[in-house]
């Protein structure tokens, strides 16, 4: 049944959904990586599609930016459309000297300045983790295809324009690989609703070096990341 934010029918979504932030990225993925594609959502232009990658049925939908937007779509997909595997495919910044623009980061865990998981967890610190089976498949595929990846902790920030840039040196010294705005919320949702979640990110910004990905770098690393995600799809 349609929900407040998704006007799809039961069965319109596959059990695995790739989740880019940008709905036009969802359209691009559907058009360039999937076959037999059907558009399944257009509420607020948060475009969603279902098609096939080889013989695997898979969906892709935008989430918008930030934990609140990403979380509400994830919750509706899980609870109303039977989605079991949610794979965020996004971009991130980094503050690590040994990480470069275009690198692919797999978020094994997600730290955050958001309060959402404390609200879920009696105000305690919840360790927001990726699903191990999805993580394992991505690592296996990356190893097999010799796609370099970095696996570790990311930081999901509520504020893109942070008033406390001092945080960056702490993130650096604590070994945080990437900075983005959704993973910790997505992992909290997956835990609360017993779904599987994983986040793959391409590095689009080097915050301390003040570097930004060129359109060619964005496209190359994006293609590698999407292929990795699709190759790892499970039912």
The residue ranges that bind ligand HPA (CB under 6 A) are: 91-93, 157, 160, 179-181, 204-205, 207
Three-state helix/strand/coil letters over 130-173:
CCHHHHHHHHHHHHHCCCCCEEEEEEECCCCCCCCCCHHHHHHH
Which of 16, 91 has the CB closer to ligand HPA?
91
Beta carbon of residue 206, minimum distance to ligand HPA (angstroms, whole number): 9
Which of 58, 92 has the CB closer to ligand HPA?
92
- d(CA 18, CA 90) in angstroms, rounded, equals 10
Beta carbon of residue 47, minimum distance to ligand HPA (angstroms, whole number): 20
Which residue among 22, 42, 158, 205 is the active-site one? Answer: 205
Which neighbouring-strand residues pair with 52? 35, 57
Beta carbon of residue 97, minimum distance to ligand HPA (angstroms, whole number): 16
Beta carbon of residue 93, minimum distance to ligand HPA (angstroms, whole number): 2
Is 205 annotated as catalytic?
yes
DSSP state of 43: G
Exposure string over 23-60, b if 16+ CB within 10 A, otherwise e: bebbbebbeebbeebeebbeeeebbbbbbebeebbbbb
Q: Which residue is nearest to ligand HPA (CB)?
A: 93
Which of 59, 199 has the CB closer to ligand HPA?
199
DSSP state of 14: -
Pairing of strands 150-156, 196-206: unpaired
Beta carbon of residue 91, minimum distance to ligand HPA (angstroms, whole number): 4
What is the chain's alpha carbon radius of gyration, rounded to the nearest angstrom? 17
- d(CA 32, CA 51) in angstroms, rounded, equals 11
- d(CA 169, CA 151) in angstroms, rounded, equals 20
Could you give the 3-state DSSP secondary structure of residue 35?
A: strand
Q: Which residues are catalytic?
A: 205
């Amino acid at each position: 049944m349609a929900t407040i934010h998704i006007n799809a029918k039961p069965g319109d979504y596959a059990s695995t959904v790739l989740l880019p932030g940008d709905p036009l990225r969802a359209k691009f993925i559907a058009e360039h990586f999937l076959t037999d594609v059907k558009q399944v959502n257009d509420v607020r232009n948060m475009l969603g599609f279902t098609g096939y990658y080889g013989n695997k049925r898979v969906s892709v939908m935008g989430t918008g930016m930030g934990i609140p937007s990403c979380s509400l779509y994830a919750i509706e997909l899980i609870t109303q459309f039977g989605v079991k595997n949610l794979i965020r495919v996004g971009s991130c910044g980094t503050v690590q000297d040994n990480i470069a623009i275009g690198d692919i980061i797999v978020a094994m865990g997600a730290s955050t300045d958001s309060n959402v998981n404390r609200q879920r967890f009696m105000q305690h610190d919840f360790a927001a983790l990726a699903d191990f089976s999805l993580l394992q498949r991505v690592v296996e595929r990356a190893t097999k295809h010799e796609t370099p990846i970095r696996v570790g902790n990311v930081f999901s920030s509520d504020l893109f324009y942070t008033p406390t840039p001092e945080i960056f040196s702490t993130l650096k010294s604590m070994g945080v690989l990437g900075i983005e705005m959704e993973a910790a919320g997505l992992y909290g949702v997956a835990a609360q609703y017993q779904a599987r979640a994983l986040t793959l990110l391409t590095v689009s910004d080097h915050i301390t070096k003040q570097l930004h990905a060129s359109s060619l770098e964005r496209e190359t690393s994006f293609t590698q990341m999407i292929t990795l995600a699709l190759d790892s799809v499970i039912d």
